[in-house]
Structure 1
Amino acid sequence: MEQHDHPWSGTIFVDGSFRKPEGGGLLDIRDKSSDEVLATAGSASIADVDTAVASAVTAQRDWAARSYAERAAVLRSVAAVLERSTGIRELIMRETGSIGGKADYEIAAAVSELTEAAALASRPVGEVLQTSHAGRLSLCERLPVGLVAAITPWNFPLVLGMRVIAPALALGNAVLLKPSPETPGCGGLAIAELFAQAGAPRGILQVLPGGEEVGRRLVEHPDIAMVHFTGSTTVGREIARATGSLLKKTSLELGGNNALVILDDADVDQAAMIGAWSSFHYQGQTCISAGRHIVDRAVADAYIRNLTDRAAAITVGDPFRQQTGLGPIINDAQLARARRLLGDAVAGGARVLTGGSNDGRFFRPTVVVDVDPASALWTEEIFAPIAPIGIVDGVDEAVALANDTRYGLVSSVLGADVHRAGEVARRLDCAMVHVNDATPQDEALAPFGGIGDSGLGGRAGGDANLEEFTELRWRTLSSSPVHYPY
């Protein structure tokens, strides 16, 4: 991939066209393994945001007036373009520092989001209500929210962008997308290129790479009806404060400190395989990674040995230039945070059984035992390939430890007796839970989101998207004018 070989190099995407931003700012698109500059993206200004919003206001009204069949056809066309795309896989690998399998997953998942959203467009959007008034027809109908600002993260930028864009458009909204500055290519402008190639109507999707000031203007703009943010709990709180004062619809999909519970009857080999995937997949840089391995003492020694062996066998390196299991941590700040969390835990008595070292941003998968439950490594989201282990005696202690967190995103329970494991899962305080599977799970038809510090608002996926991206309106029709006393 040569630098500047994209039609969108140096641009933003406003009113259906790639254009230079006002002020001419640029963002480098870098290979996260080599730090090579692959291309540039335009860096939007506040003036660009205002121009994009003005375009989207008009476009959204026209788009919402189209038939469901027309909206669905556009989404299917975008899916077809994505399936034929030859360059986006490489861009995902290099811009996010991921192995090829992760890039393949993102593409397939983004296609699924588009095709499922196309089906969503034809869903019923209202119902007839009972009424005590003779001659009145009482209806409840769903209307598009209007303009949706989507502020997306760097870890799965293609699919997490499409998770908002596709259903929001299917239901008649327009979307203004601000991708992370770490991934303005595959998380933003490459998505715009898909829509442009598919012949999507002008203005229904605007892409505005940029910094905090762009995000702040999107959040505060009076014509933006809804803000959907995926990212850290810290930033989510700031957005919630701003949108709360504006009484603006908000959906926040935030971090997680997810528990993987291994019961005393679990198959240790299978559990360690699931545990390794849950904590190390994509360098542990997902909100649904396992941050706490809670293991019954009866199987703890065997589980720890097996997980340690698996971690030690994983290869780490540049995934674009060699066959490897893990790539780099996304940036130096994230690396420094991982080193600090691990170092503080070790200073508090934790022991590293394997890993714990790094070569530049390439961080070895790490297994840690004897972790103080009060340490940040145990209580905070890690976002690095580190697996802290805690040992418990019995189910009640496991449930109590799993629930001892401010987060509430996802948990998994592993055990041979599926009914018993299911009962344990039922007791866990989280929005998503899996039995005998890894914590990282996501399907376009399933409601995805969190409670507590893991989220605010609704859910993304399946029928939940109807709630997420529409507003309810009560409408009545009377057969003749109603008479009142005055």
Structure 2
Amino acid sequence: MSERNTPELAPDAEWGLYVGGEWTSPSDAGTLEVVDPATQEAFTEVPSVGTEVVDEAYETAAQAQTEWAKVPPQERADIVAQSISLIHDHHDELVDLIVREVGGTHLKAETELHIAEGIMNVAASFPFRDGGSHEKSIIPGKENIVERDPVGVVGVITPWNFPFNLSMRAVAPAIALGNSVVLKPAPDTPITGGLALAAIFEEAGLPPGVLNVVAGDDEEIGDHFSGHPVPEVMSFTGSTEIGKRVAKRAAEQLTEPALELGGNNVHIVTDDADVEYAADAAAFGSFVHSGQVCISINRHLVHEDVYDEYVEVMTERAESLPTGDPKEEETIVGPVINESQRDKIVSFIEETVDAGATLETGGDHDGLVVEPTILSDVTNEMAAACNEHFGPVAPVIPFSSDEEAIEIANDTRMGLSGSVHSDDLGRARRIADEIETGMIHINDQPINDEPHIPFGGVKESGMGRYNADAILRKFTRTKWTSVMHEQREYPF
């Protein structure tokens, strides 16, 4: 391996992998082309490693964690705080990277950085909040001490849709709490999902080996990474199908999984809702980042009395959105990540129309830019409704009663997020309480993420929660120490 200096945070920089505090390009490594979805052309490449480098990264992380856990809490907090400052300093470069690598619009890139900074601000408080407690004992003269220690090494696998903040929500808390990390970003987004984070934390002064980033083909290293014996926690964000496989591999090593998986989120609009406002919320919740958000609206459930009006307003909203290259600041709907994703979205649209739905607008594509699409006369069994379409598609399903809306909403194996619109807040709350989901938002839309609020789903949408005290508990473990302060009498 040849050592290199830290790369600049620029799309055309010469990137390598990051293990043990060194930027290296293994001579025997393949490469991953990093493609701009807007042009479908590669603008750089990164090394694609094999299983041997994954082993090295985990071993390095385990060695570094022992000393990192001894670092005083103020120093760990300062590293995270300095990293936040560096994100501010490199703001424009990071926005450019997200736009180029992810195909995100400027609005999306700004939002992603804002969410990441919020996560880091909360994480910076963790070194002072991971203390234990003294508990009373049932035995006279005994003192009980419950301490929280870092788990050790955390493995992190992250997706391509919001790579920077979805990596940061695991990396920053894990590091702040005294753990080390091996991060495997998605092959489509190795820079903003991993290598950019490594560059920022290195510049902030993080000791070598505490954060390690390996990029590689999922087929080659995915199972080896998730089934490795070193990590104590395996954090995964992605599809339910792959999440189950990751969880199984981790469990075989008694590694605890932390999973945030797919969604099939509803946007319920009652007959007394403000239709214009509900459609405004729905346009954002369906079309931001071309619908490539796990908590975006997948199904619009609308009362039959306002159904036609809602479809008409949503069609107007969809047709008014600027589409195209996200490097143009006015673009709202840019490209999806790759051809495979585009073809899946278009297939869901075509299957839904073939099943009897009406295509109100959209349905076509230009390169990887799928038109904002409105489908009416949809039922819950149609392809665009029963599958997580992950695209700029709004299937609109009618209902006649609150009970029917609840039944349709819950008729899915997913349960991540959702929203309910009604002028009667009591009614909205009653509906929301019956929806089987980890998160739901009244008179809003499902795309919400606040760093101090637990984030996660139920059913097949995940295991555990991110953010706030939930992630603090996930990345630490309790140790009970008892002290007898006087001699104890035993029964024999």
> Contact (CA 8 Å) 1:83, 1:107: kept in 2 or not?
no
- Shift of residue 426 of structure 1? 1.0
Select which of 19, 43, 63 maps to 1:38.
Answer: 43
Select which of 256, 266, 275 maps to 2:282.
Answer: 275
Aligned partner of residue 466 in structure 1, secondary structure: helix
Aligned partner of residue 407 in structure 1, secondary structure: coil
For residues 284 and 328 of structure 2, the distance between their equivalents in structure 1, rounded to whole angstroms, comes to 22
- Shift of residue 23 of structure 1? 1.6
Select which of 378, 392, 399 maps to 1:392.
Answer: 399
For residues 422 and 313 of structure 2, the distance between their equivalents in structure 1, rounded to whole angstroms, comes to 16
> Higher mean Cα deviation, 247-256 or 373-382?
373-382
- Shift of residue 185 of structure 1? 1.0
State the match for 1:369 in structure 2: 376
State the match for 1:194 in structure 2: 200
Identity, % of aligned pairs? 38
Aligned partner of residue 440 in structure 1, secondary structure: coil
Select which of 194, 205, 213 maps to 1:207.
Answer: 213
Aligned partner of residue 413 in structure 1, secondary structure: strand
- Shift of residue 37 of structure 1? 2.1
TM-score by length of 2: 0.95
For residues 13 and 57 of structure 2, the distance between their equivalents in structure 1, rounded to whole angstroms, comes to 16
For residues 405 and 129 of structure 2, the distance between their equivalents in structure 1, rounded to whole angstroms, comes to 42
Alignment of 1:466-481 (within 5 A): 466-479=472-485
Select which of 213, 232, 238 maps to 2:245.
Answer: 238
> Contact (CA 8 Å) 1:267, 1:415: kept in 2 or not?
yes
The answer to whether 1:142 aligns with 2:148 is yes
For residues 20 and 6 of structure 1, the distance between their equivalents in structure 2, rounded to whole angstroms, comes to 17
Alignment of 1:95-174 (within 5 A): 95-174=101-180
For residues 350 and 232 of structure 2, the distance between their equivalents in structure 1, rounded to whole angstroms, comes to 44
- Shift of residue 373 of structure 1? 2.1
> Higher mean Cα deviation, 172-181 or 122-131?
122-131
The answer to whether 1:27 aligns with 2:32 is yes
TM-score by length of 1: 0.96
- Shift of residue 483 of structure 1? 6.1
- Shift of residue 479 of structure 1? 2.3
The answer to whether 1:432 aligns with 2:439 is yes
- Shift of residue 347 of structure 1? 1.0
- Shift of residue 101 of structure 1? 0.8
**Alpha-carbon RMSD:** 1.8
> Contact (CA 8 Å) 1:8, 1:193: kept in 2 or not?
no
> Contact (CA 8 Å) 2:325, 2:335: kept in 1 or not?
yes
Gaps of 5+ in 1: none
Amino acid corresponding to residue 414 of structure 1 in structure 2: H
The answer to whether 1:313 aligns with 2:316 is no
State the match for 1:259 in structure 2: 266
Aligned partner of residue 437 in structure 2, secondary structure: coil
Q: Which runs of 4+ in 1 moved over 3 A?
A: 2-8, 480-486
For residues 3 and 73 of structure 1, the distance between their equivalents in structure 2, rounded to whole angstroms, comes to 23
> Contact (CA 8 Å) 1:296, 1:394: kept in 2 or not?
yes
Aligned partner of residue 293 in structure 2, secondary structure: coil
State the match for 2:93 in structure 1: 87
1:84-118 Cα shifts (integer Å, max 9, x gaps): 10311101011111110110111111111111100
For residues 124 and 192 of structure 1, the distance between their equivalents in structure 2, rounded to whole angstroms, comes to 24
- Shift of residue 38 of structure 1? 2.0
State the match for 1:55 in structure 2: 60
Distance 1:179 1:481, change over 3 A: farther
> Contact (CA 8 Å) 1:145, 1:471: kept in 2 or not?
yes
Paired residues in the alignment total 484
- Shift of residue 246 of structure 1? 2.2
- Shift of residue 312 of structure 1? 0.8
